[in-house]
Chain A
Amino acid sequence: MMDFKTTVFFFLSAILIFAALRVITARNPVHAVLHLILSFFTAAGLWVLLQAEFLAMVLVMVYIGAVMVLFLFVVMMLDLNLDQLRQGFWNYLPLGAVIGILMVIEMGMVLGSRYFQVLDSEVPSVPAGVSNTKELGALLATDYVYPFELAAVVLLVAIVAAVALTFRGPKKTRYTDPAKQIRVKAEDRVRIVKMPVEKQD
């Protein structure tokens, strides 16, 4: 008889595997993205089971809340031509399948061997009142301050690169300046031209 935790683990894992499979098999890209969100969500559940509540929160907030929603927008806005994407699928299938199967067999031989078994390990028992988030924060500000700062620089690089690649100089749009319009005088708009009268014959 399985205990509650194991049951939850298998329940979440089953959903995760199903969702991950649907991501690559769904014909509609929006469905694929939605299934990806589902798989992230169940992965967050697995983190909670391991008592890593901060990681679970970050996964939900950053990946689902920010990244995937953005992704969903992009997929919805891009008018993907699915038939074009599938072109040549059957031509590439034999070669791809052979290589894929070979790699699966090789990795299976390594991973399935006697030495690559996952050991039964217990979740470390943490005394009540210890906050995972606080510990991580303290580590980031002390031992891991150097990689933390480096990650900040990587983000700076991303900003500079994004601006350099997309900014094409100030936009020269046509607009009217209200102050100029108020100050306008009649002589600015109408020019009276004196012309000699011509005789009609």
Chain B
Amino acid sequence: MFNDFVAPSLYPAAPEIFLLTMACVILLLDLGVKSPRRTLTFVLTQLTLLGCAAITLATSNVEVVYTFSNMFVDDMLADFLKLLVYLTVSVVLFYSREYIQARQDVPKGEYFVLALLATLGMMVMISANHFLTLYLGLEMMSLCLYAMVALRRSSAVCTEAAMKYFILGALASGLLLYGMSMIYGATGSLEITAVAERLYTHTVDDKVLVFGIVFLVAGLAFKLGVVPFHMWVPDVYHGAPTSVTLFIGAAPKLAAFAIVMRLLVNGLITQAEDWQSMLIILSVLSMAIGNLVAIAQTNIKRMLAYSAISHMGFMLLGIVTGVVGGDARFALNAYSSALFYVVTYVLTTTAAFGLIMLFSKAGFESDELEDFKGLNKRSPWFAAMMMFVMLSMAGIPFFVGFFAKFSVLQAVVAAGYYWLAVVAVVLSLIGAFYYLRVVKFMYFDEPKHVEPIEGPTSLKVVLSVNGVAVGLLGLFPQMLMSLCAYTLLRSL
């Protein structure tokens, strides 16, 4: 039996295998680490991410490679997104170190191991070419995130946030799974490329398929956190420890972009009309509710949560406008603008939460908007960094957020959705208010706290690099933009 079976090539999955091995090794070594600083665990975690990056670069291939019976795909998009995920997770853990150090009730060793395993989940999602592996990757990542939110055991707020996240996340996974089973029923395959091929060559049962797509889009919307499936986002962002909020808000967005691309664009592009109309509704609602409700927030983590909702809505515009009415001329432009948007959003949000963590101390979270009053008097340099981040998120020219918004809008106009472009611009203008309010607090109000900002020099250096990158990429966005376009050109 199965004599014709050929063992799959492990070569394309080398980064995943390395990461899993190292995560297990770190888990065991951490048992012997007694110091609360966990230097060994931290250094090994960073080295693992570095090693993964090296392996990904070494095994990178211009061709699209499938392995494990076509369940695993290694293309340029996967390599590009994986490298960005390593970089983001590495920076995020760097920022988190002091923060979790100052809080006694966080189990330190497990924090790094769970972060690594969540990274593995994201890599599996990014490289998934099969509904099954995509779902397993998603669950792997989500389980780690639920646990990380709940890690501060003595805090009731964290436990509540984790509970909400867990229940709504499980519901979303159920929806996604149900949608996948419907699509399996309609097409007879779980393999994403096979589904696409089947839809292209055969006429399939349309009703079952659309029924499945509705559930699929609802599940994806939950994971992306767009309206009306956004309820968990503010509570989780607010309730989780800031380091975990940063973790949730950054790298998983890249993985979410990957699964949206794999499922909707690679798998269901023939049904584009069906899912596009759904995504347009989700996108407009997210931009409206995200930007309007953010104005009423007094807590900066909650405000950034609503801002995340609106940004994800904006990003969806790029995906909507790829193929309109069977016309794929602008597809590459549209998808690469969405990719560029996600990448720059992750860069900016990492800096934002990193700065909040720098300003916090043991017993003081610095997450109220009031805490930012008069920041310029306490630390002019980091007030400037925060200003860069806020202006970039608002989409003020010449920060990177402006070019991200601009390229998405260009795609929207090219696709002929003029009304959508107008709506997006108006809602972004409304959104600029609450970002600029933070800038006003920092520069024109009297400080509530007077002590200067303190932190290790290395942390300050990395944060400064991150902040300056937000500014510099705005001046020279061309390189990253063409990189995004190139990876997608090679992968689509």
Q: Chain A interface (Cβ within 8 Å of chain B)?
A: 110-111, 113, 115-116, 134, 138, 142-147, 150-151, 153-154, 156-158, 160-161, 163-165, 167-168
B144 — nearest CB in chain A belongs to which residue?
A157
Which of A134, A143, A147, A165 meets B151, CB within 8 Å?
A165
**Chain B residues with Cβ under 8 A from A115's Cβ?**
205-208
Contact A163 B110 (CB under 8 A): yes
Asked if B143 contacts A154 (CB within 8 A), the reply is yes
CB distance from B53 to the nearest CB of A (A): 21
For residue B137, CB closer than 8 A to chain A, the reply is: yes
Q: With CB as the reference atom, state the residue of chain A lying closest to B124.
A: A150
- In the complex, what distance in Å separates the CA atom of A144 from the CA atom of B2? 13
Contact A154 B139 (CB under 8 A): yes
Q: How far is the CA of A55 from the CA of B146 in the complex (A)?
A: 30
CA distance A110 to B137 in the complex (A): 31
A173, B387: Cα distance in complex, Å = 53
Q: Give the residue of A111, A142, A150 whose beta carbon is less than 8 angstroms from that of B140.
A: A150
When distances are taken between beta carbons in the complex, the residues of chain A under 8 Å from B117 are 153, 156-157, 160
B151 x A164 contact (CB < 8 A): yes
With CB as the reference atom, state the residue of chain A lying closest to B70.
A143
Task: Known pairs A147-B133, A153-B117, A161-B144; list 18 more (Cβ under 8 Å).
Answer: A110-B207, A115-B206, A115-B207, A134-B1, A142-B2, A146-B8, A146-B13, A146-B69, A146-B72, A146-B133, A150-B140, A154-B139, A157-B147, A160-B110, A160-B147, A161-B143, A164-B147, A167-B107
**What are 25 sample pairs from A and B whose C-beta atoms fall under 8 A apart?**
A110-B207, A115-B206, A115-B207, A116-B205, A138-B1, A138-B2, A142-B5, A143-B5, A144-B71, A144-B132, A145-B68, A153-B120, A154-B143, A156-B117, A157-B121, A157-B140, A158-B143, A160-B114, A160-B147, A161-B143, A161-B146, A164-B107, A165-B147, A167-B107, A168-B153
A154 to B133, CA, bound (A): 12
Complex Cα spacing A115 to B211, Å: 12
Q: Is the interface of B mostly helix, strand, loop or mixed?
A: helix
**Which of chain A's residues has its CB closest to B133's CB?**
A147
Q: Which of B133-179 contact A (CB under 8 A)?
A: 133, 136-137, 139-140, 143-144, 146-147, 150-151, 153
A147 touches B130 (CB 8 A): yes
Residues of chain A within 8 A (CB-CB) of B71 are 144, 146-147
CB-defined contacts of A151 to chain B, threshold 8 Å: 136
Q: Is B20 interfacial (CB 8 A cutoff)?
A: yes
A contact residues around B211 at 8 Å (CB): 110-111, 116
- B1-52 interface (Cβ within 8 A of A): 1-2, 5, 8, 13, 20, 24, 27
How near does chain B come to A188, taking the closest CB pair, in angstroms?
A: 31
Which residues of chain B have C-beta atoms less than 8 A from A165's C-beta? Answer: 147, 150-151, 153
Q: Does B113 contact A (CB under 8 A)?
A: yes
List A contacts of B144 (CB < 8 A): 157, 161
Interface pair A160/B68, CB less than 8 Å apart: no
Which 8 A-B residue pairs are closest in the complex by CB-CB distance? A161-B147, A164-B110, A146-B68, A150-B136, A115-B207, A143-B69, A142-B5, A147-B132
| Chain A interface mostly | helix
Knowing A138-B2, A146-B71, A147-B136, say if A161 contacts B207 (CB, 8 Å): no
Residues of A within 8 A of B153 (CB): 165, 168
Provide the residues of chain B in CB contact with A134, threshold 8 Å.
1
State the CA gap A161–B208 with chains docked (Å): 38
Per the bound structure, the CA–CA distance linking A134 and B1 in Å amounts to 10
**B 45-78 to A, binary, CB cutoff 8 A, 1 in contact else 0:** 0000000000000000000000011011000000
In the bound complex, do residue A160 and residue B27 qualify as a contact, i.e. CB atoms below 8 Å apart?
Answer: yes
A154 touches B140 (CB 8 A): yes
- CB-CB under 8 A from B146, the residues of chain A are 161
Q: Which residues of A contact B13 (CB under 8 A)?
A: 146
Contacts of B24 in A (CB 8 A): 156
Taking CB atoms, residues of chain A closer than 8 Å to B68 are 145-146
Compute how far the CA of A150 lies from the CA of B130 in the bound complex, rounded to whole angstroms.
Answer: 13
**How far does the Cβ of A114 sit from chain B's closest Cβ, in whole Å?**
8
Q: How many angstroms between the C-alpha atoms of A150 and B128 in the bound complex?
A: 12
Q: How far is the CB of A31 from chain B (nearest CB, A)?
A: 24
Chain B residue, CB-CB nearest to A151: B136
Report the bound CA distance from A138 to B2 in whole Å.
8
Contact assessment for B143 and A157 in the assembled complex, using a CB-CB cutoff below 8 Å? yes
Identify which of B110, B137, B147 contacts A150 (C-beta below 8 A): B137
Q: Taking CB as reference atom, which chain A residue is nearest B210?
A: A110
Asked if A154 and B110 make an inter-chain contact with CB atoms under 8 angstroms apart, the answer reads no
